[in-house]
Amino acid sequence: MPAAKTMKKLTLPGLIDPHVHMREPGATHKEDWDSGTAAALAGGFTAILAMPNTAPPVTSAETLQSTLLLAGGKACCDFGQYLGAGADNTASAPAIAPFSAGLKMYLDQTYGPLRLDDMTDWLTHLQAWPHGIPVCAHCEGKTLAAVILLADLTRRPVHLCHVSRREEILLIRKAKEQGIPVTCEVAPHHLFLSEDDIPAIGSGRSEVRPRLASRRDVQALWDNLDVIDCFASDHAPHTLAEKDSPTPPPGFPGLETSLPLLLTAASEKRLTIEDIILRCYTNPARIFCLPDQPDTRVEVDLDARYEITAAGAYTRCGWTPFEGMPVQGRVTRVTLRGKTAFEDGKVLAQPGSGRNVRPEVTTPPGVTLPD
Ligand code: DOR
Ligand code: ZN
Ligand code: ZN
């Protein structure tokens, strides 16, 4: 009888994804708080921070409160909800800040209506938003350079989302060397895909903001890994029908593929397990001021080899740009606060068992909850 193959197990802390799109309210056919947080657990994430470009967008105390109520009733993992920066909420945003995961500033056009064009609105938000509560920016190229300048002028930390280009990562290196308080994240799709993959993925399905970049850009991200504070999926689910339509919305699902891709890179010695823990746990916990999750861990089989497929995934969107990609490393069990939340491919956590990462507060000022 052949000797039973022992699987090489690894235990990680509960991972944190600081950049996901949950689509509830407004587009639950793409994802809701239940399916999205189940996908998070299946991917090894025990806490996620949700972006505000929902329908309606989360830009007020009322929309934040109603979204947090939905999340609290359905989430299977811990969660926070960002507030979107608008031209019309510069005055009201600071009072709502402690209830949110942070402020999200959209400085370029992407999915949804949130976009801040006037740099004086950027400045007002950055000056008024409480220090100690994070600010994130969707910025690309020259808007990234501009917001770095504003972080310097206002001396407040700004987290730069989904950096994808050589010119951006090199500028961030320079800014950090100068002591400008910026941090940044890179999405796995910008590390593992380039514009050369667009023909194979299909043009509609390849739509994402920032766009897939050149191989030189991708190499620059790998060459400057020390500048990258976090890996964040930017899980942005849209259905296959939408992606294959004449007006494909930008965005890739990523919660269930991020860790397998990163573990594969570790198996190939392109990064280390410590690099993953630093960028998917230690740094996001610090940058986003997240509470500890006691008795929480993610068990991984480092030897499991398989191909990524959308079949059987928990995300509702029904596809992945990584379909058929060979990977090594599988999440086998997730324990959240002492309870098995995911095991053998099944999410066991109950909807509603996830907690708000800003637990000290429940109701933003100006909102009266029904009795
Ligand atoms: O591709 C993207 N999709 N980039 C974004 O910035 C937004 C996201 C979405 O919400 O679909
Ligand atoms: Zn973005
Ligand atoms: Zn995003």
251 lines ligand 1 (CB under 6 A): yes
Q: Which atom of ligand 1 is nearest to the CA of 21?
A: 10
Q: Whose CA is nearest to atom 3 of ligand 1?
A: 251
pLDDT of residue 140: 97
Q: Which two tokens stand for residue 135?
A: 């600010």
Pick the closest to residue 106 from 117, 96, 115 (CA basis): 115
Any ligand 1 atom below 6 A from CB of 137: no
| Minimum-distance ligand 1 atom for the alpha carbon of 208 | 1
Q: Encode pLDDT of 196-227 as tens digits.
A: 999 999 999 999 999 999 999 999 999 999 99
Measured at the CA of 166, the angle between CA 160 and CA 168, to 5 degrees, comes to 30
Cα dihedral angle (365, 350, 284, 288), rounded to 10 degrees? Answer: 10
Cα of 51 vs centre of ligand 3, distance in Å, is 7
Task: Report pLDDT for 112.
Answer: 81
For residue 250, give the ligand 1 atom closest to its CA. 1
User: Could you read off the pLDDT of 277-311 as tens digits, one per residue?
Assistant: 999 999 999 999 999 999 999 999 999 999 999 99
Which stretches of the chain score pLDDT less than 50?
Answer: 371
| pLDDT at res. 324 | 98
Nearest Cα neighbor of 236 from 324, 141, 111 is 111
Dist. CA 142–CA 146, nearest whole Å: 6
Ligand nearest to the CA of residue 19, numbered in listed order: 3
Q: Taking the model in full, what pTM does it have?
A: 0.96
Distance 207 CA to ligand 3 centre (A): 13
pLDDT at residue 7, rounded to an integer: 80
Nearest ligand by distance to the CA of 236: 1
Q: What are phi and psi of 177, to 5 degrees?
A: -60, -30
Nearest to 361 by CA among 48, 30, 80: 80
Please tell me the distance from the alpha carbon of residue 111 to that of residue 91, in angstroms, as a whole number: 25
